[in-house]
């Protein structure tokens, strides 16, 4: 058995090989580490964000639908009022052509002007209702406060109609008043509720 055999257990100990020096000047082997690029967090792992996008609370959705319904009613009232104002103005003009300038024609023109103002008011409120409903998705505290005040005023308007219908004994006016009170109350309650405040305070990315 030769002492020069490295596998000989009785031979002199072999010298230890120094550890291999790193290959300077060559990039390290293995997959790139993405130097210079931030690591992307997993989907949904953002501060204050859940894995799924936040959805609008049910009461908020109801208030939004009611805003669109109110807007449709306001548009109809506005168009009918414009038609009524035009009809009254034409009748007043016809009276002037037949009987000359008289007090009834003046009253008719004044009434037509008042009805036209009411029509424009309802059309403007319809535009406001639609705008508030659309802004529910991205709006902030200004939309919330405006909707709350809008709902409170609608409920007060319905309460005034309710008082008038009770004195007049009109069942149609009573139903109309209850609808306004209910719609306005739901809108205001949705904005006052903690879920409504949290929705308009939510972070937006």
pLDDT value of residue 9: 58
- Average of per-residue pLDDT across 173-181: 86
29 part of a folded domain: no
In a domain, 179, yes or no: yes
Q: Is residue 187, in this structure, part of any structural domain at all?
A: yes
Query: How much is the average pLDDT of 167-181?
Result: 81
Other Cβ atoms less than 10 A from the Cβ of 117: the count is 12
Provide the token pair at 25.
Answer: 């000047």
Q: Report if residue 136 sits inside a domain.
A: yes
With 0-12 CB in 10 A as exposed, 13-18 as middle and 19+ as buried, what is 99? Answer: exposed
Residue pair 126/74 in contact by the 8 Å Cβ criterion = yes
* 15 falls within a domain: no
| DSSP three-state, residue 102 | coil
Count of domains for the chain: 1
* Residue 17 within a domain: no
Q: Which residues of 32-56 are buried (b: 16+ CB within 10 A; e: fewer)?
A: eeeeeeeeeeeeeeeeeeeeeeeee
Residues spanned by the domain of 168: 58-199
Residue 25 domain-assigned? no
- The per-residue pLDDT for 166 is 76
Asked if residue 16 belongs to a domain, the reply is no
Tens digit of each residue's pLDDT (9 = 90 or more) over 138-165: 888 899 999 999 999 999 988 988 888 7
Q: Higher pLDDT residue, 184 or 10?
A: 184
The model's pTM:
0.67
């Amino acid at each position: 058995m030769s002492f020069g055999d490295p596998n000989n257990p009785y031979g002199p100990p072999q010298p230890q090989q120094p550890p291999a020096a790193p290959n300077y000047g060559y990039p390290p082997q293995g997959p790139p580490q993405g130097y210079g690029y931030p690591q992307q967090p997993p989907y949904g792992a953002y501060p204050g964000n859940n894995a799924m996008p936040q959805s609008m609370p049910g009461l908020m959705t109801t208030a939004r639908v009611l805003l669109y319904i109110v807007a449709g009613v306001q548009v109809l009232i506005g168009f009918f009022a414009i038609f009524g104002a035009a009809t009254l103005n034409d009748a007043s003009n016809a009276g002037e052509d037949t009987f000359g300038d008289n007090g009834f024609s003046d009253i008719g023109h004044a009434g037509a002007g008042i009805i036209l103002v009411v029509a424009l008011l309802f059309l403007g409120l319809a535009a406001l209702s639609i705008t508030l409903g659309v802004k529910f998705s991205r709006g902030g505290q200004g939309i919330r406060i405006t909707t709350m005040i809008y709902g409170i005023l609608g409920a007060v308007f319905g309460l005034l109609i309710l008082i008038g219908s009770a004195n007049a004994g009109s069942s149609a006016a009573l139903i109309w008043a209850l609808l306004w009170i209910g719609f306005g109350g739901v809108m205001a309650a949705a904005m006052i509720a903690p879920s409504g405040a949290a929705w308009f305070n939510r972070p937006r990315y």
